[in-house]
Amino acid sequence: MPLEFKRTSRFNKDKVNIKVRKDWLSTKPTRYRITWRREIFRVKVPARFQATVLCCVPGNFEGGKTEIWAFVDSSKRLFRTMKKAVEACERHSRIWEKVLQCPSIRAVKSLFEGRKPNEIPKWIYGHIDRRILSVLMDNTSHRYSEEEDDIAYFDTQSLPEPEPELVSEKKQRRKRRKVLLKDVEIAMGQPLARKVRSDKGQPRKPRKPKTMTPETITPETLDLAPVTAPPKRRGRPPGPKNNVVPVENATPPKRRGRPPGSKNRPKV
C-alpha cells in the first residue's frame, strides 16, 4: 500500500542544522522513518537517504524483546533519492502483509530467501498468528529441524537432559601370583621330581661363626692385606721459600737509579 511521510523533528534531539540532517516519519499504523544526512558527528559524508522501520527483536531483555530501528533492506542501506527510499519502505510493508496469510513457518521463510527473520515490525507484531510468532521470537538455536517446517507450531518442551558421562576407572595392574611348587603338584596330580644334591650323604663343612672372638681371630679370617709404605712424594724438598738462605751481616742490595737529592741539586 502507498505510504505517506511527514517531516518531523522529534529525532533531532541535538538540534542539528536542517542543512545537515532531515527526518520523515510515516503515518500510523506503520512506523517507517527516512533520514537524509550529509554529516555524522561533524564529519562530512556523501548526502544519502536511510530507510528504517521500528522492529521488535527477541533477546535476554525485560519481556523477552526490545525495540530498535532496523534497516528496511540490509543489503542496501543508502539511497540517492527520496523516491527510492519510499519504494523500499513500501516493498517491505507488502512482504510483511503477506506474512499474515502464511499458514506455516516454511511459508514465512520462503518470503525471506529461506531464512527466519529476526526483526519483526512493531506495526504487525500483534496481528501475526501466535504459533508462528512463538517460533519467530524463539532465539534459541537448533530448536527445530528443516523437516518440521510444515508444522506451524513446534513443541517447545524442554529437551531431555544428557546422561552424565561415566568417569573412567583407573586400571589396576594385576598382581602376579607366585607359582608355588605345591600348586603345580596339585594341578598336575603327581609330585614333581626334585633335584638331587651332589654332596648327599657327606658331612657338611663347619660353618663360620657369625661373631668374632679372640680365639677365632686368625690371619685367614681377618684376610688382611700386607701393609706397604706410602709412596714417596716427588718434587722440591721442603725448605725456605725461593731457596733463600739467610746470611748474617749481609749488605743490603744496591738501589738502582738516580741517587736521592740529585733532582734539586744546584748546577756548578
pLDDT single digits (tens) 115-147: 888 899 999 998 888 889 888 888 775 455 554
Q: DSSP 3-state assignment of 71? A: strand
**Number of continuous H segments (helices) and E segments (strands) in the chain:** 6, 6
Instruction: Give yes or no for a contact between 48 and 39, defined as CB atoms under 8 angstroms apart.
Output: no
Confidence of residue 228 (pLDDT cuts 50, 70, 90): low
Tens digits of residue pLDDT in 86-107 = 999 999 999 999 999 998 889 9
Look at 40-44, 59-63, 132-136, 170-174 and tell me which has the smallest mean pLDDT: 170-174
Measure the CA–CA gap between 51 and 31, rounded to whole angstroms: 11
Is residue 183 very low, low, confident or very high in pLDDT (cuts 50, 70, 90)? low
pLDDT at 170: 58
Residue 227 covered by a domain: no
Has residue 242 been placed in a domain? Answer: no
DSSP secondary structure string, 98-116? HHTT-SSHHHHHHHTTTS-
Which whole number is the average pLDDT over 6-16? 82
Mean pLDDT across the chain: 76
Mean pLDDT of 171-198: 63
Buried-exposed string 60-74: b where 16+ CB fall within 10 A, e elsewhere:
eeeeebeeeebbbee
pTM of the model: 0.51
Which letter does DSSP use for residue 62 in this model?
Answer: G
**pLDDT score for 218:** 66
With respect to residue 118, please indicate whether it lies within any of the assigned structural domains: yes
pLDDT of 79: 94
Residue 265 domain-assigned?
no
Residue 251 lies in a domain: no
Residue 250 lies in a domain: no
Residue 118: what pLDDT? 87
According to the model, what pLDDT value does residue 86 have?
Answer: 93
pLDDT at 253 over 90: no
Whether residue 139 is contained in a domain is answered as: yes
Is position 189 within any domain?
no
Q: Do 71 and 51 form a contact (C-beta atoms < 8 A)?
A: yes
Q: How confident is the model at residue 255 (pLDDT cuts 50, 70, 90)?
A: low
Domain count, the chain: 1
pLDDT at 248: 61
Q: Whole domain around residue 44: which residue ranges?
A: 5-148
- Tell me whether residue 77 is exposed, middle or buried, using C-beta atoms within 10 angstroms of its C-beta: 0 to 12, 13 to 18, 19 or more: middle
